[in-house]
């Protein structure tokens, strides 16, 4: 006789069963939306992270923690050229990497998965996060793991009901803390055999701190490091003759990072962030008697880009100051004149926050600003992918989305 694998010890099974029974199927959680896919394609539950909302999966650039900090630091920054009747010399301007136009609804996880025929469900764990504006302290302080958990279970129940008739396979995809919620969700629904438990086929986590984060135990120091962008400046890269001018203009560069800095500093100090310490109560609860679930593929992603933006000083070349004699037509006659063929070249003066030289591993190569790639590994993973995105960029990364689509299409 073939025996089914025992997923939990009898005592642990009863404990988890009690937890599941204590949380019966509830009404759909706040802002729950299900976008049906093609017949037979998997349905995906997108589980957002701490201090986040469904916007992070549906329109990330409009989310409060991202809308002022989605820079495209990978795009090339080119010189500009032109002609002028006036001398062009010294400092032209300063600026940051351009805004990343892909952090929009069209490039979001929800849109891309739906476009490939997958059903997609989203909701808000903490309703006060959803309007896109900077949340109140009370809203942020109330965003704890225990506060987010009941709605996570309710969202699964609703998705299971929405897809029951077609008996669609289900996928759990969690970003950041959402990956921890996804692990607990899988453990509970399997142990309690909630409707839909036997249709879960994938557990996918994106930049999840499976082994903790520095901001959990050193939040104040983490905040202090992020709050000093000027320490990442490198003025030696620009010609000496313009360094004083660049130094005076630096505030317009670092000021453009205020949105990102304020969001990261605020998140690092949250009660919910302190819960993410390795070995904390939440981790122990999830990991107790946790085992690999048969027929569930586990895929994890981690980022190694601790970068939000570059800062540039655009400086006129020495050749820009060389006059060129020209003949200019003025009415019916030509008169001799002078013009300058100028070129303004970018010099990278800021790499934030990677250039801070911080001791925090999350702010060094191998980190994504909030979580290290090594922490994003999970003991039961079938495959781990290390990519070059920061904690937010992964939410609109087309190659990450393509990898996930490929896995969801596998039989």
Spatial separation of the C-alpha atoms in residues 35 and 21, rounded to whole Å: 28
Radius of gyration (Cα) for the chain, nearest Å? 26
Q: What is the pLDDT of residue 153?
A: 97
pLDDT in tens, 236-278: 989 999 999 998 888 888 888 988 988 888 898 899 999 988 8
Q: Closest by alpha carbon to 110, among 45, 63, 25, 62?
A: 45
Provide the pLDDT confidence category of residue 309 given band limits of 50, 70 and 90: very high
Q: What is the pLDDT of residue 26?
A: 56
User: What predicted TM-score, i.e. pTM, was given to this entire model?
Assistant: 0.89
Q: Which helix (H) or strand (E) holds 401?
A: helix 398-409
The answer to whether the beta carbons of residues 392 and 60 sit under 8 Å apart is: yes
Q: In what order do the strands lie in the sheet with 33-35?
A: 33-35, 119-122, 43-47, 170-175, 200-206, 297-303, 383-387
Q: At what angle do helices 177-192 and 10-22 cross, to 10 degrees?
A: 100
Q: What is the pLDDT of residue 68?
A: 86
Spatial separation of the C-alpha atoms in residues 151 and 45, rounded to whole Å: 12
Provide the pLDDT confidence category of residue 336 given band limits of 50, 70 and 90: confident
Query: 3-state DSSP call for residue 66?
Result: coil
pLDDT in tens, 168-195: 999 999 999 999 999 999 999 999 999 9
Spatial separation of the C-alpha atoms in residues 161 and 159, rounded to whole Å: 5
Q: What is the pLDDT of residue 8?
A: 42
Burial zone of 179 (CB within 10 Å; 0-12 exposed, 13-18 middle, 19+ buried): buried
Q: Which has more confidence, 216 or 267? A: 267
The answer to whether the beta carbons of residues 182 and 146 sit under 8 Å apart is: no
Evaluate the CA torsion angle 267, 268, 273, 276 in order and state its sign. positive
Spatial separation of the C-alpha atoms in residues 312 and 228, rounded to whole Å: 18
pLDDT in tens, 100-148: 999 999 999 999 999 999 999 999 999 898 777 889 999 999 999 999 9
Q: Which pairs from 145-149 meet CB under 8 Å and 24+ separation?
A: 145/177, 145/180, 145/181, 145/272, 145/275, 145/282, 148/177, 148/181, 149/181, 149/184
pLDDT in tens, 276-297: 888 889 999 999 999 999 999 9
Q: Which CATH number among 3.30.160.270, 3.40.50.880, 3.30.70.380, 3.40.50.1820 corresponds to the domain 10-75+99-232+258-304+365-409?
A: 3.40.50.1820
């Amino acid at each position: 006789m073939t025996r089914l694998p025992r997923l939990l010890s009898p005592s642990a099974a009863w404990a988890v069963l009690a937890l599941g029974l204590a949380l019966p199927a509830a009404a759909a959680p706040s802002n729950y939306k299900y976008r049906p896919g093609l017949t037979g394609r998997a349905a995906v539950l997108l589980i957002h992270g701490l201090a986040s909302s469904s916007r992070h999966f549906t329109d990330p650039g409009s989310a409060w923690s991202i809308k002022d900090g989605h820079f495209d630091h990978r795009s090339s920054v080119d010189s500009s050229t032109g002609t002028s009747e006036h001398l062009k010399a010294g400092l032209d301007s300063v600026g940051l990497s351009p805004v990343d136009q892909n952090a929009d609804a069209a490039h979001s996880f929800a849109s891309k998965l739906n476009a490939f025929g997958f059903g997609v469900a989203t909701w808000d764990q903490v309703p006060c996060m959803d309007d896109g504006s900077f949340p109140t302290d009370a809203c942020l302080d109330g965003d704890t793991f225990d506060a987010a958990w009941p709605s996570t279970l309710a969202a699964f129940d609703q998705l299971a009901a929405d897809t029951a008739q077609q008996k669609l396979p289900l996928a759990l995809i969690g970003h950041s803390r959402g990956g921890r919620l996804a692990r607990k969700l899988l453990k509970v629904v399997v142990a309690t055999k909630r409707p839909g438990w036997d249709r879960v086929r994938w557990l996918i986590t994106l930049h999840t701190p499976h082994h903790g984060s520095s901001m959990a135990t050193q939040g104040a120091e983490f905040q202090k490091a992020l709050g000093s962008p000027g320490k990442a400046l490198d003025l030696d890269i620009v010609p000496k003759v313009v360094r004083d001018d660049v130094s005076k203009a630096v505030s317009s560069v670092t000021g453009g990072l205020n949105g990102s800095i304020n969001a990261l500093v605020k998140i690092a100090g949250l009660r919910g962030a302190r819960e993410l310490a390795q070995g904390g109560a939440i981790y122990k609860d999830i990991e107790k008697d946790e085992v690999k679930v048969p027929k569930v593929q586990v895929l994890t992603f981690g980022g190694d880009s601790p970068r939000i933006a570059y800062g540039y000083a655009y400086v006129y070349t020495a050749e820009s100051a060389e006059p060129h004699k020209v003949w200019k037509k003025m009415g019916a006659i030509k008169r001799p004149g002078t013009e300058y063929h100028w070129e303004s070249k970018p010099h990278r003066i800021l790499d934030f926050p990677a250039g801070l030289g911080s001791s925090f591993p999350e702010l060094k190569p191998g980190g994504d600003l909030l979580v290290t790639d090594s922490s994003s590994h999970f003991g039961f993973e079938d495959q781990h992918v290390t990519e070059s995105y920061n904690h937010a960029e992964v939410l609109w990364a087309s190659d990450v989305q393509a990898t996930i689509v490929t896995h969801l299409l596998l039989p």
